[in-house]
Amino acid sequence: MEYTSLPEMGMKVSRVALGGCPLGGHGWGKVEDADSIAAVRTAIDEGVNFFDTADVYGFGHSEEILSKSLGESRHDVCIATKFGVRQTSGTETIKDTSPSWIRTAVEASLKRLRIDVIPLYYMHWPDGVTPIEDVMQELDRLRKNGKIAAIGLSNISAEELERATAVAPVSAVQVQYSLVDRKCADALAASVKKHGVPLVTWGSLAQGLLTGKYNQETLFPPNDRRHRYENFQGEKFTQNLKVDEAVLQVAKMHQCTPSQVAIRWLLEQDNVGAVLFGAKNSQQVRENISAMNLHLVQDDLDALGQMNTEETSEKRNRSMKYFLSSKN
């Protein structure tokens, strides 16, 4: 296992982290608590000490299952959770990063996680109303009062990061980043490098698209959020499948899985501190963690990099020639 340091934190964290969204049992099809618990415990056995969740995942259920799964080790690992998307009624949510809601949310998360201090506390999404300075002041107050150990921000712009770091230290920025989603990370690159803030990637496998499991005929049921995601719709899906095919070719060359290639590619990118992956069971955990043992040569990394769906068709065609020649 590879470990890294996050600023303002007293412990090193694993460079792959188990994402807790599927643990919530909502929006990803059928997920059994027993499988979720086994997945978390397998991650621990494999050396993972970085676990990500949010109060809105399963409307609190993800935090509760994570705490139950970790048992006493919950005091020894890095648990990152988030606030800022709150339930209003049923499955309806709104974004709220007001200081008053932050104070309410942190106490609820501490109770569900059964810990005294949250190691890393993220703002999940800006609410478009509360100034980032007000958010950071409240988070810094919580840090000084011992409720949280470090501050994280998620889904923010470079301009918001600049304003935030002027108020208090930021230990991590969580961003959607994968072989098919690069705009946000690219936009933040200069700012995170300037401030020495590592990226933690979410959507690292593009909600499963980069696992090689899906094709143009794939249909998701209504209880699976991917049936409405852009990455699985129309022309965008068609272009993404071309990237997936390139990932599959690299996987065949290295006798590994597409997921492992996608995760290893991210780990090799500038500014990336850790990669989040979701898993519904122990087998998926072991598969994804095995990306740590994969070595991609520079030609692989460069060719995959040029398969970006936002790149020119000429660059993508050059990459495909590399993969096709490598097959022979």
Quick one: average pLDDT of 91-110? 93
Which run of H or of E encompasses 308? none
Per-residue model confidence (pLDDT) at position 237: 76
With b for 16 or more beta-carbon neighbours within 10 A and e for fewer, the 251-264 pattern comes to beebebbbbbbbbb
Answer whether residue 323 shows pLDDT above 60. Answer: no
Type of residue at 53: T
DSSP lists the bridge partners of residue 118 as 148
List CB contacts of 234: < 8 A, sequence separation 6 or more. none
Type of residue at 207: Q
Q: Among the CATH numbers 1.10.3720.10, 3.20.20.100, 2.40.50.70, 3.30.1490.100, which is that of 3-222+256-294?
A: 3.20.20.100
The model's pLDDT over 281-315, given as tens digits with 9 standing for 90+, comes to: 889 899 999 999 999 989 888 888 887 655 545 55
Quick one: average pLDDT of 42-59? 93
Per-residue model confidence (pLDDT) at position 315: 53
Q: Catalytic residue at 3?
A: no
Among the options 57, 121, 214, 322, which is catalytic?
57
Per-residue model confidence (pLDDT) at position 181: 85
Model confidence, pTM: 0.85
